[in-house]
Amino acid sequence: MVTLNHLTVEDPDDGSPLLPEAAEAATPTPVFHRQRGVTKTDSREFFLSRSENLAFSLTLLIICYLAILIPAYFPLDNVETLSEDNPHPKDLVLLNQSASLLSGPCQPRWCLNHLKPLSCSASLLDIPVFVQQDRPVPWDLSPPLGLLGSEEPLALALASLPQPGLPPSLRGEGSCRRCVVVGNGGVLHGSHLGSHIDQYDIIIRLNNAPVSGFERDAGLRTTIRLIYPEGAPHSESDYKNTTMVALVVFKSLDLDWLTSVITKKPLSFWSKLWFWREVVDDIPLKPENFRILHPEIIHKTGQVLQKYALKQGNMVPTLGASAVVMAFQLCDQVSLAGFGYDMQHLEARLHYYETIRMGAMKSQVVHDISAEKLFLRDLVAAGAVTDLIGAL
C-alpha cells in the first residue's frame, strides 16, 4: 500500500493549494455561454439572427397578403363555373331522373289523361295555338287577352306571313311528341340539363333568354321562342338553331313591329317612341318562320290562374305559364326546366343568365307569381307535367 501524505495541486490562476476533495468539487460544470475564443454551444443553432428573423417575417407577411388578395382578381362567375364543372350529388339525382324519362318511350295522350282529374282541365285543352288568316274571329277583348281594336294591323301582319297557322312539323298526326318549356329562372343555372333539353321534340323558350354561352345548362336548340318586341333577343346568335318565333301581342303597335321585321321595312321614328325599351329592327329568320300566338292562350291561362289568385279580375299571366298551356296543345308529354321562384331567398339568382337577384321580383306588380306557382304545383302533383329541376 502506498500512502500519499502530501499532494498539492496548483491552480494556474492564483497558485493556491487545493486538497483532492476540493479540487474535485471545483471542477467546473459545463455552462453554455459564449466567450471570446472559446464557445462550447452557440445559441445561433437555436435562434435566427436579427436579419434572418426580419426576412422570414416579411416573407410570411407577403404570403398572407397574397392569400387574401389574389382571389379578388378572379371574377365571381369564373369561380362559380370552376366549382360547378362536376354536378352536385343532388343534381346527379335529377340528371338521372331526366335521363330515365328520356330513355323510356313517349306516352301518347299522357297530359290529357293526367289533366282530367283537375277542375281546370276543360279550360286548358283544344285552344288554337296561332292566329290564322282563314279563321277570322270576332275579338271581344283588347290585347293581350284578345285583338279587339287591332284588326287592321293584324290583317297587315297576317298578309306578310306565308304560313300563319300551325306548320306540318308541329301537327304530328299519329306521332307521340314530347315538349320541354325552358323557363328563365335562376334554378336552371348549374343544372347541367342542356344535353337533355336538346333531346326533346319541341323546345319552347321565352323572350330574350340566351342560349349562346349557356348551352351546358339550357341547351342550344329552339323550336318556338315566344317574344314580344321589347323582349326579343338583340344577339343574332340567340336565333341560331331556331325553328320559329311567335309574337305575343300586348298592344297594336306590336303587330306593326312584326310586319316591319318580316318585310324589312323599318318603323317610323314616331312609332319607336311608343316602345318602353329599344327594339330590334331585324331578326335573322325567314318570313315563314314567324307566327302570332293566339291570344286565347293568354286569356284561358289567365282564367285558370284566377282560381288561385286573391284578387279578382282579368289576369295577365307570364309567358312561362302561357307557354305551358301552349305545350298542352302540341305535345303528349310536357316537361319544365327553369321554373320555380324561391321568394324565401331574395339573394338567389332571378334568371339563369344574369346576376339580378330574386329580390327584384318584389317590385313587379303585373303578374301574380304566387298564383302561378300554385297552378304549376297542381300540374306537377297531378302528373300532367314533369319538373326536371324539382324547384316548384
What is the pLDDT at residue 169? Answer: 81
Residue range 27-59, pLDDT digits in tens: 444 444 444 444 444 544 545 566 766 677 777
Residue range 262-316, pLDDT digits in tens: 999 999 999 999 999 999 999 999 999 999 999 999 999 999 999 998 877 778 9
Using 50, 70 and 90 to split pLDDT, how confident is the model at 137?
Answer: confident
Nearest to 218 by CA among 338, 117, 313: 338
What is the pLDDT at residue 17? Answer: 45
Residue range 192-221, pLDDT digits in tens: 999 999 999 999 999 999 999 999 999 999
* CATH C-level class of 92-387: alpha beta
For range 358-364, the mean pLDDT: 58
Using 50, 70 and 90 to split pLDDT, how confident is the model at 364?
Answer: low
DSSP H stretches of helix in the chain: 20-25, 50-69, 76-83, 89-103, 110-115, 151-159, 168-171, 194-197, 215-218, 252-263, 269-272, 295-306, 319-330, 369-382
241: left (phi over 0), alpha (psi -120 to 50) or beta: left
How far is CA 342 from each of CA 85, 185, 282, 296, rounded to the nearest angstrom? 24, 10, 36, 29
Residue range 95-109, pLDDT digits in tens: 888 998 999 999 999
pTM for the whole structure: 0.76
Q: Is the pLDDT of residue 180 over 90?
A: yes
What is the pLDDT at residue 20? Answer: 43
> What is the number of other CB atoms lying within 10 angstroms of the CB of residue 317?
27
| DSSP strand pairing (38-39 vs 34-35) | antiparallel
Residue with the bigger pLDDT between 1 and 312: it is: 312
Share of the chain above pLDDT 70, in %: 74
